[in-house]
Amino acid sequence: MAHSLIKCDLGNGERASFWYDAWCHLGPLINLTGNDGPVRFGISSQLSVADACEGNIWHLPSPRSDQERELHSFLDMFFSIRPDAGIDCYKERSNIKEWSSLIWFKGATPKHAFIMWVAYLHRLPTRDRLHAWGISTPTSCCICSASEESHVHLFLRYPFSKQVWSRVQSHLRLRPLAFHTWPSLLAWTKIKSDLAPPIIRKLACQAVVYHLWKLRNTILHNQVLFSPTAAYQEIVTEIRNTIDARKS
Ligand SMILES: [Zn+2]
């Protein structure tokens, strides 16, 4: 219990456990990947954060899955170790955020939870953020070009995303609601109903966000277009499989 209340302020990374300490705002990475993370990612469970770096760059095995690639790009973008910084310090974590229940719940699919978390924090490399970091790139949405590519646009307001949300809600036999902000989405997941209890809504939310991001990357990198129906079907199949796997 105490462990879950402690965060690590990263210094030179020599004390901080790569897998088990909350040294970044994602919390302990083991929570994202599940207990088999160290084996799957080929990164020893004993490693410190400093062990996973060489100088101030990450030194990790080449990624072999989408989840590994996401983790790598996340690590590359947001963290750098400074070997000359002082020792790592452990502190009490601030209060558990209200939205954490949308991300971490028993039965969540780790790769979906991971993207949901990063998206909720607006930390995915959307074009508006790349531009803000000084990277020369168009800021227009890479799917519709009609608006700036931001998190809210991609996941909530873009007509394609709205259609996916609306079809998923119809599938749950709920009145389709449009979400214009993350808090409104969060509020929706908490509504109690026999047709679609919060756990189903949360699984659906995470699957939609994950697939919209995957789709956006596919369009960007492979210039392949999808219909909202195809996206929706993939999401429904995935949620079905998740429920089947966890029926007990
Ligand atoms: Zn767009």
pLDDT digits (tens, 9 = 90+) for 87-121: 888 887 666 677 788 888 888 888 899 899 889 88
CA of 143 to the centre of ligand 1 (A): 5
CA of 126 to the centre of ligand 1 (A): 11
Do 65 and 113 fall within a single domain?
A: no
CA of 155 to the centre of ligand 1 (A): 9
**Residue ranges for the chain with pLDDT beneath 70:** 1-2, 4, 25, 77-81, 83, 93-96, 248
CA of 39 to the centre of ligand 1 (A): 38
Do 78 and 146 fall within a single domain?
A: no
Average per-residue pLDDT for the chain: 84
Do 107 and 170 fall within a single domain?
A: yes
CA of 132 to the centre of ligand 1 (A): 18
CA of 225 to the centre of ligand 1 (A): 13
Domain that holds residue 53: 3-92
* Domain edge (last residue) among 67, 92, 117: 92
* Domain edge (last residue) among 66, 92, 118: 92
Please state, in angstroms and as integers, the Cα–Cα distance from residue 47 to each residue in 9, 52, 53, 71, following that order. Answer: 17, 7, 10, 16
Do 181 and 202 fall within a single domain?
A: yes
Do 64 and 118 fall within a single domain?
A: no
Do 152 and 44 fall within a single domain?
A: no
Do 87 and 163 fall within a single domain?
A: no
CA of 165 to the centre of ligand 1 (A): 15
CA of 232 to the centre of ligand 1 (A): 17
CA of 159 to the centre of ligand 1 (A): 8
Separation between Cα atoms, residue 198 and residue 132, nearest integer Å: 36
pLDDT at 17: 93
| One-letter amino acid for residue 236 of the chain | V
CA of 160 to the centre of ligand 1 (A): 8
SS3 call for 52:
helix
Do 200 and 227 fall within a single domain?
A: yes
Do 117 and 211 fall within a single domain?
A: yes
CA of 117 to the centre of ligand 1 (A): 21
Q: State the DSSP code for 12.
A: S
Do 217 and 113 fall within a single domain?
A: yes
Domain tally for the chain?
2
Check if the beta carbon of residue 211 is closer than 8 Å to that of residue 203. no
Separation between Cα atoms, residue 38 and residue 60, nearest integer Å: 11
* Domain edge (last residue) among 57, 92, 127: 92
Separation between Cα atoms, residue 243 and residue 221, nearest integer Å: 31
Do 128 and 38 fall within a single domain?
A: no
Do 82 and 104 fall within a single domain?
A: no
Work out the percent of the chain whose per-residue pLDDT is above 90.
21
Separation between Cα atoms, residue 23 and residue 112, nearest integer Å: 21
